């Protein structure tokens, strides 16, 4: 399992290598927007530098935002998997 926001950041970083213009790619734009909008969230090792009260406040924001974007992110993930699995396939649909 990978954190939704960490996954978006990783996919946004890869976008430059796999699509001509991530900003006009419907799926990779989702990853880029979410990555940008969550830059300030304490995720991963950054959490160790935050106070417990600040983490509690930010965790509430994180949970709310995750609910708001999770379905859109998962749909973009499914689309990317379908696109790139088909592209590398040697089956009849390739």
Question: pLDDT per residue over 8-56, tens digit each?
Answer: 999 999 999 999 999 999 999 999 999 999 999 999 899 999 999 999 9
What CA–CA distance (Å, rounded) separates 7 from 80? 13
Q: Are 44 and 3 in contact (CB under 8 A)?
A: yes
Token look-up 């696109």 returns 83
- Assigned token pair, 63: 């949970």
Q: How confident is the model at residue 70 (pLDDT cuts 50, 70, 90)?
A: very high
Q: Length of the chain, please?
A: 94
Amino acid 92: pLDDT: 44
pTM of the model: 0.83
- CA 77, 83, 89, 93 dihedral sign is positive
Amino acid 68: pLDDT: 98
- Is the model's pLDDT at 94 over the cut of 70? no
């Amino acid at each position: 399992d990978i954190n939704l926001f960490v996954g978006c950041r990783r996919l946004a970083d890869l976008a430059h290598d796999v699509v001509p213009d991530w900003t006009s790619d419907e799926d990779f734009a989702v990853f880029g927007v979410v990555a940008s909008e969550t830059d300030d969230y304490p995720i991963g090792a950054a959490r160790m530098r935050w106070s417990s009260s600040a983490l509690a406040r930010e965790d509430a924001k994180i949970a709310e935002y995750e609910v708001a974007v999770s379905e859109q992110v998962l749909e973009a993930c499914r689309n990317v998997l379908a696109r790139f699995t088909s592209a590398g396939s040697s089956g009849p649909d390739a």
